[in-house]
Amino acid sequence: MSELPGRYDSSDTLPALDAVEAAPIEVRKHRVGIGRIALGSVAISSLLFLSLPILVVVPISFSSASTLQFPPPGFSLRWYAEFFSDQRWMDDLQTSFIVALAASTLALVFGGAAAYGLVRGRFAGRPIAEANFILPIVLPGVITAVALYLVFAHVGLLGTLTALIIGHMVLGVPVVVLVMTVAFREFDVKLEQVAFTLGASTRVMLLRVLLPNVLPSIGAAWIFAFITSFDEVIVTLFVSGTYETVPKRMFNELVLQVNPTITAIASLLIGISILLLAISALLIRSKDQSKSA
């Protein structure tokens, strides 16, 4: 009996599948290489697009012009000199460092403890608790700022340095939880169990077994929390009262007038952030190298 036209024979191979299987290994590698080049090009283009403001602000900060002008007509350090010679900016810089140091340290303590409890704990509602710690990152900053404003106004802390530190700590805790959660999950829990088996107390296990092994992650988490606090402006505007930080004064100055000194301050903040991020990257890299060794 003759086969009907167009009938599929099981002995036949689908053309597309046959072509893929018959493709040489070199062709497949070539296609993968093209895909990686395309992906790399998109990533580099996105990075350059996001860096455009930096490429404009930093040169203007060294401009000799008395107004914002790009490209700058000449090189000068006048705006940096004006920043460091202004006592108001120096006082604001001191306040920013004090708040950032206190808030990042508190965020590291509370966020680290929360991350350890989320990783090692076994309790109902743990996913909900973990999501709750991440909410300040997900929600718009103004919502967090309004909530903190209402709470501090109710307890009588609004406009105090304590409220400012706590507000920045609330923003730093989610960052610490994200970093330390990964660190604790990567750390072998069997080492903790062995320490307890050998008679170590919880304090001894934490100080001599757990913390030394996750020290690079601790440093990276603290740096991220410090950067988050040092650059924060929305929560500061709501809860700081008469206290001034560098980002807050920058915001207020821009509302009144465009002062070229702002470009010098912005360049300094960018430099500090890049330096701290580089240090955190080195810490994470040292942790990976120690694990591979």
Average confidence (pLDDT) over 173-192 = 86
In the chain, where the domains are located: 26-76, 86-292
Q: Which of 64-68, 199-203, 215-219 has the highest mean pLDDT?
A: 215-219
Q: Which of 14-18, 25-29, 83-87 has the highest mean pLDDT?
A: 83-87
Q: How many helices (H) and strands (E) does the chain have?
A: 14, 0
Instruction: Quickly count: other Cβ atoms within 10 Å of residue 226's Cβ.
Output: 25
Lowest-confidence pick of 37-46, 152-161, 168-177: 37-46
Compute the distance between CA of residue 114 and CA of residue 117 in angstroms, rounded to an integer: 5
Which pLDDT score is estimated for 108? 93
Q: Are 176 and 225 in contact (CB under 8 A)?
A: yes
Residue whose C-alpha is closest to residue 234's, from 121, 125, 147: 147
Instruction: Please tell me which residue, 12 or 40, carries the higher pLDDT value.
Output: 40
Compute the distance between CA of residue 153 and CA of residue 157 in angstroms, rounded to an integer: 6
- Tokens 């046959």: give the residue: 18
Specify the amino acid at residue 244. Answer: E
Look at residue 14 and tell me whether its pLDDT is greater than 60.
no
Average confidence (pLDDT) over 211-228 = 87
With bands split at pLDDT 50, 70 and 90, how would you rate the model's confidence at 110?
A: very high
Phi-psi region of 7 (alpha: psi -120 to 50; beta: other; left: phi over 0): beta
With bands split at pLDDT 50, 70 and 90, how would you rate the model's confidence at 116?
A: confident
- Per-position DSSP letters for 196-253, written without gaps between them: HHTT--HHHHIIIIIHHHTHHHHHHHHHHHHHHHHT--HHHHHH-TT---HHHHHHHH
User: What's the pTM?
Assistant: 0.76
Which pLDDT score is estimated for 254? 75
Which pLDDT score is estimated for 105? 94
Q: Are 118 and 181 in contact (CB under 8 A)?
A: yes
Lowest-confidence pick of 9-18, 147-156, 251-260: 9-18
Residues 6+ positions from 106 with CB-CB distance below 8 Å: 165, 166, 169, 172
Average confidence (pLDDT) over 177-205 = 83
Average confidence (pLDDT) over 229-256 = 85
Average confidence (pLDDT) over 222-234 = 89
Average confidence (pLDDT) over 7-18 = 50
Q: Which CATH class is domain 86-292?
A: mainly alpha
Which pLDDT score is estimated for 33? 66
Which pLDDT score is estimated for 291? 58
